[in-house]
Structure 1
């Protein structure tokens, strides 16, 4: 999933970004609330993780603006405020869920998965023919045999499996696999496609000339 994280605590924000990316998410990180609305309007985010106590513009105000613009991105609020009034205010402003600080990372991941399931983005297992991907464990099997994939290869395969009829441009795949701070080579997507074909078979990804890539078939 592509996530937008808004957290002004530098230690917590950097830790969350790194940990979530190890879970095969792509995470863009903002440190205040001033650009949240613009980023959501420009990008294809599947979840917003939003701290309430932000400088410049607090999380509740950001959330109200998001819903006023009729953006339906799921929002998970992070808050150190444990009063019932604060939680009610966040939910009434349009939050889908909230998590009290300090929190356990495993619980955060579970709530992200739950919100993804509500949006129809996460199913326990997806695949075609003899190729299966368990989205919780990130385990890939081909005709029942485990296949070791790198994080990027796994993310690319997951993207294609979710929308098997769609042709993805190289630009779309870059935005799915990399956050805005990362440098990538001009042939990065081609390299990942090449490695997936070597591990899963040459037909697993089809090149659509002049357009991009789509899911193929498994021999």
Structure 2
């Protein structure tokens, strides 16, 4: 500026600049504080960039993949904890050497014979290997969804097996339809996982089932040693049934 304080530009054509020099340096404290604050922000941003650099180096792909893996792990853990549990495998216990009754009777072991566990490739299994647990004999149109669900829940609770076998006596329906109906009945039992047994010769129904045409499920309760403790025709949920199932474990 010109010594006379002329506000017009000087002879060199430079713009007018007001420069104020404070008398006390303490007047610059707010500016110093603001400067240091901005420097701290800059250092924080630099630290965050250094931490995230390995993740963001390849764009958003790595975070997305990591998130998907976490979701998959959490879902698997929840399904393991709350999903249907597989039916226990048949016991390795020996058959009772001297049962109190003949085979096929209450107090005796299951009758001899062979059935098949349903699956993509049916697996043959001896009848006397269906232990310990409950064998449900299902007549056509039994209307037994409630008791099947109850037995599935109780056998799962006491770590027992639960099988369903169709009563084919007097039932002219094709085998595929009978199997589908049994699978639908088993699938509705959310408290457990009943296994389907293919009893083509009707050994179970002929031994323990009611007269042909009888409605309602028949439950055959089998101990680990193969002895049949109860044959229940059209059982109902309740404490008595729970106690009978629990006694098998």
TM score, norm. by length of structure 1: 0.25
Q: Which structure: greater strand fraction?
A: 1
The structure with higher relative contact order (CA 8 Å, sep 6+) is: 2
TM score, norm. by length of structure 2: 0.22
